[in-house]
Amino acid sequence: MESKILSKKLELIQWLPTLEDKVVIEKLIKSKKEENKDWLDSISEKEKSAVEQGFNNTEVNNLAPHVTARKIYEKWL
């Protein structure tokens, strides 16, 4: 698997210098920027607050059983 990825990377490295399509170049740049973006930057303040509350609950061992969590969040799972 690792050699397959390395091979694809080398193929891209060889292809990039020949690339002249500005649209494709911009898409690649955008993709790179999004890849480096932290997921926490892309959620709402309400969601950030919920994540923070979850961290706080773990620190004080205020946790719900897995079964309860699945019932609450099953529509997203």
Would you give per-residue pLDDT tens digits along the chain (77 residues)? 688 999 999 999 999 999 999 999 999 998 888 777 787 888 899 998 998 998 898 889 888 888 988 888 888 87
Q: How many CB atoms are located within 10 Å of the residue 36 CB?
A: 7
The span from the CA of 38 to the CA of 30, in Å, is 14
- Cα distances (Å, whole numbers) of residue 25 to 15, 19, 35, 55, 67: 12, 8, 15, 40, 47
Nearest by Cα to 40 from 30, 28, 50, 29: 50
Q: Is 1 helix (H, G, I), strand (E, B) or coil?
A: coil
pTM of the model: 0.44
